[in-house]
Structure 1
Amino acid sequence: MHTFRFLFAAGLAALLLAAPGCSDDKLDEIDTNPNDPLTAGVRQLLPAAEAGLAVGIHGNEAAWFATTFVEHSAGVHAQFEQVDKRVPGSFNNTATNNTWVGIYAALLKDLDTIIRQGSTGREAGAWRYVGIAKVLKVYTLSVATDLYGRVPNTAASQGIANLKPTYDTQQSIYQDMDRLLTEAVADLDKPTTLQPANADFYYGGDPAKWKKLAYALQARLANHLSKRDPQGSATKTLAALAQGLASPADDFTFRSYSTLATGENVWFQERNDRSHFAVSRTIYDIWTGLNDPRRELLTGTLADGTRVPAPNGSSQSDQPGTLYSRASTNLVSATAPQPLLTFAEQKFIEAEAQLRLGSGPAAYAAYQAGVSAALANQGVPAAAAITYLAQASVSPGASALTQENIITQKYLGFYIYGAIEAYNDYRRTGFPALRNTEGPAPRRYPYGQSELDSNRENVPATTSADGVWWDDGTED
């Protein structure tokens, strides 16, 4: 149930069925090529890639391992319980293989096809699709390199022309992603022969919103480099944010789940079908210490009406959900939206960058805006949000604001869908303090077993204790 291929296929099938369509004649006109009739058109490839990003990365093993590593959740069943308890050999190349295959055999392959086909290929001039695909490629590639370290980039997606791609340094990948985002903004401004409209699940083909996302993503990636270049990364982050998301209306959020069995929110499917995770005691105790209304709002109750979090590393097995609380239906339901990059996250990024540059008042204003937006995203009533923000522990003032304040509130705002980015933040900053009784979280993911089987000579020799370049400054 939890493998990438099943979730991707099941989720995508429902989404495509649910998406409004254009006429059969128009689809035939767009997608019929007498010289290459078996090649999918950009209109088919884009929704597949967009769904894959939500389902196959943020609703699968990549995010599910991360949710235990950052202690949003505790693993209480099967593989994720073993990984949470640091059972030797449990976090291995097989465990991360679905993520690796999904990124390289599906997402990047489809996105590179859109870019090639829509710029110089048989659908040349489809610049709206090309620009969107470049943004999505950067998003996908950033997940790959942030989790694994050095990965194939310049030699990837060449099919039989290169079955053993070499690996690029993370530093060069970050430079290439920055270039692609700049290109994407330019492409989105070009006259286009095809409009995505309902083939785009996120923004309906609106180029202005995609450009804002490109800048927001550029800021996120620049901020990742805080350990390598604190001042320079902050300056670049703020420059990008000046053209980023203008409000929560610009959030990059997947909202196309349905009540169909094959189209439900994948975290909802996981909870109902496998139930690997309980609410972590770590985040529960942070909520408690801050008198945070999200503790009751986002934590489900047991049969007796109590809320019981699970301790990372020492919880009992609990697939039935009788011992520990799960995320509540206020957050995880069949049609719950799945945020991928939000205005709230952007404001926390801004706050951190301003703080590194010594701009306390600007950092504090951005921080408070981030907290407010995160509370709203997670359904906290306005009155409760005002009371929460009035506490000195939440709003310490501009002169007392710390990086720990910012990252802790960002971490709370990421619950439960933003685990991958929370994992990136933890490796950069060390916040929040984690409490797994069996030892620290891994610093990276092991490469997929299929890559070892087919391309072993190019796979870097690393361990899960090694940091990626932006973390420890080395390139394996």
Structure 2
Amino acid sequence: MKQLRYIILPILLMLLATSCDKYLDVNADPDAPTQVSPDNRIKPLIRLANGAAQWRGTREVSDVMQYVASYQAARSYDIWNYTASYYFWQNTLVWAYPNAADLILLGKETNSPNFSGVGEIFKSFLILSLSDQLGRMPWDDLYDGVQETILMPRFEDQKTVYEKALATLDQAIVDLSATDNAIALNNRDGDILYQGDTQKWIKFAYALKARYLNHYSKKSNLYDPDAVIDACSKAFDGDGMDAEFAYSADGSSTDANPWSVEGYGGFSSLTAPRYGGYSAFFVNMLKSSPLADSGVDPRLPIIMKPANNTGEYTGIVNGRGLDTDKTLDDYSNVPGGYYSSADSPFPFITYSEVKFIEAEARLRKNDITGAISAFKEGVLANMRKLGVSSDAIAEATTKMDALTTADFTSGGDITSGLSYIMTQKYIAMVFNPETWVDMRRMDYSTAIYPNLSRPENVYSIFQDGEWIRAMCYEINEQNRNEANLGDNRPEVRLKTPVWWDTAE
């Protein structure tokens, strides 16, 4: 194994110096590589995959998904004015991914295949998370712990990358099923996700497999609803299995959930945070729920706090900024809710999402009754997770029990059913960048997402009716590897769909 695999640790120590010992909990002595073992690498992999990679991925697109909106009118990321100053790439491939590659190899070297399985899960997750926002990605030329790092890697088409990632998930399931391991998965308490429970790790792999197979929905020759449903049946099958871990309110900013005031995500200054508050689209969706007699979704006061000045739930219109004569205290701010407190988890994927994936797949294969059943469980699982009252859950259950096949096929197609599923999935997946995948797969349809509209003052490169479809590759890769990267101008990249976003 080349020495580069040990370089990532001192790099992380410099980048996260404020609380690195507590954050990483690894042996970072670059002069003693023989001391690095897989049980030293699993915790930083999980933490960095979540708090560095997934966080940066959602930070870039939370306003695109319209969970949040800027307090300033026409602020660049609120109106889709993105450039190559985009660091999801860096956080994923420089910070998080090398730990996955090393864990795969270390598991093999130490006769501990369970660790290889965890590394394989996160290799697939990290590379496809990037690919879902960018498109073509390196795979064979990526650092693997053995070969020298290739500074100008070859990019492979997204279809090929997906095939390799899905095969890697299959291998992860095999490796996590192995019972002969020299080092236990939770040795040193490194498995902060499942505490060594390999069956839950296997279900995590199947959940991701279901998610990625479902991304093929525009590919009539590849989309297989039965394969999606089969993966769902082997994925999370009850509460308490979500792939997540709780952050901490007792440490530094890197210990806290990044969406919280205590975290590092831009909310430490409530007078001028990166985002002014929740968007009008999201707030209004929660205030017009079909699941409650009052019309107000019972999750609203759990997800967010009311405006300080009015006690009401008010969102900011994307691209408009604060209305005249109003301040941030007139809007529902981001920190302090279920997903945005210091000790809140930030899920990779949940049981609720698996049920919504199953509902969509059953709907597409014309199993309407099965779709309604999976949809209902997806909603209720999220409500239970958020601690919604039993009375509100009973009311929502009554509402959903009244749904008929006609409700899911109104107009002669499945659009109405998709609207039920996708709006509730949107509510259940706050901040998760997977929502942007869904919105593009649904072509930002207002029939599916009622009242969704483009931001005001939208970036001038977008013509009427055009929506953002991808992101620009990061500037360092553009400068170093332009020949393999291709045309990275915003007017091209932001408007060009990734492979799974094109119908065939």
What TM-score range do you get, normalising by the shorter chain?
0.7 to 0.9
Pick from 432, 441, 446 the counterpart of residue 449 of structure 2. 432
Percentage identity across paired residues of the two chains: 22
**Which range is displaced more, 363-372 or 290-299?**
290-299
- Which residue of 2 is the match for residue 423 of structure 1? 436
Distance in 1, matches of 2:205 and 2:48, equals: 19
Matches within 5 A, 1:59-138: 59-60=55-56, 62-76=57-71, 81-86=75-80, 90-94=81-85, 96=86, 98-119=87-108, 123-138=109-124
Aligned to 2:38: 42
1:51 equivalent in alignment to 2:47:
yes
Partner of 1:315: 321
- Within 5 Å, which residues of 2 pair with 1:197-216? 197=186, 198-216=189-207
Partner of 2:280: 281
- What is the correspondence of 1:221-370 to structure 2 with a 5 Å cutoff? 221-229=212-220, 232-262=223-253, 263-268=255-260, 269=263, 270=265, 271-273=267-269, 275-277=273-275, 278-290=277-289, 291=295, 292-304=297-309, 305-316=311-322, 321-327=328-334, 329-331=336-338, 332-370=340-378
Are the counterparts in 2 of residues 368 and 395 from structure 1 also a CA contact under 8 Å? no
Q: State the Cα deviation string for residues 410-455 of structure 1 (Å, max 9, x = none).
A: 001112x32x011000000134252222345421111000101211
Q: What is the identity, as a one-letter code, of the residue corresponding to 2:333? A: R
Q: Which amino acid counterpart does residue 428 of structure 1 have in structure 2?
A: R
C-alpha distance in 2 between matches for 1:136 and 1:168: 19
The whole-number CA distance in structure 2 between the counterparts of 1:75 and 1:301 is 17
Distance 1:16 1:107 in 2: 12
SS of 1:367 mapped into structure 2: helix
- Residue 407 of structure 2: aligned partner: 400
The DSSP-based 3-state class of the residue aligned with 1:352 is helix
Q: Which runs of 5+ in 1 are unaligned?
A: 22-26
Q: Residue 414 of structure 2 aligns with which residue?
A: none
* Count of residue correspondences: 446
Letter of the 1:280 counterpart:
S
More displaced 10-residue stretch of structure 1: 124-133 or 322-331: 322-331
Q: What amino acid is aligned across from residue 130 of structure 1 in structure 2?
A: S
- The answer on whether the counterparts of 1:47 and 1:200 sit within 8 Å (CA) in structure 2 is yes
Structure 1 counterpart SS, 2:46: helix
On the 8 A contact 1:12/1:48 being kept in 2, the answer is no
Q: Which has the larger helix fraction?
A: 1
**2:43 maps to amino acid:** P
Match of 1:24 in 2: none
Deviation at 1:54, TM superposition (A): 1.3
- Greater relative contact order (CA < 8 Å, ≥ 6 in sequence): 1
| Aligned partners of 2:53 and 2:96 also within 8 Å | no
Following superposition, the deviation at residue 9 of structure 1 comes to: 6.0
CA displacement, residues 338-360 of structure 1 (integer Å, 9 cap, x when unaligned): 22210000000000000000001
Partners of 1:14 and 1:473 lie apart in 2 by 47
2:461 counterpart residue number: none
Q: Is the 8 A contact 1:363 1:398 kept in 2?
A: no
- 3-state DSSP of counterpart to 2:407: coil
Report the residue type matching 2:456 in the other structure: T
CA distance in 1, matches of 2:29, 2:17: 24
Distance 1:367 1:397 in 2: 12
Q: TM-score, normalised by structure 1?
A: 0.86
- Please list every run of 5 or more consecutive structure 2 residues that lacks an aligned counterpart in the other structure: 1-11, 290-294, 409-416, 459-465
TM-score, normalization by structure 2: 0.82
- Match of 2:224, SS state, is helix
Q: CA deviation at 1:33?
A: 11
- The change in CA–CA distance for 1:327 and 1:272 in structure 2 (over 3 A counts) is same
How far the C-alpha of 1:326 sits from its partner, in A, is: 1.2
1:386 corresponds to which of 373, 388, 394: 394
Deviations 1:322-378 (A, max 9, x none): 242113623121111222210000000000000000001111100000010112223
Letter in 1 for 2:439: Y
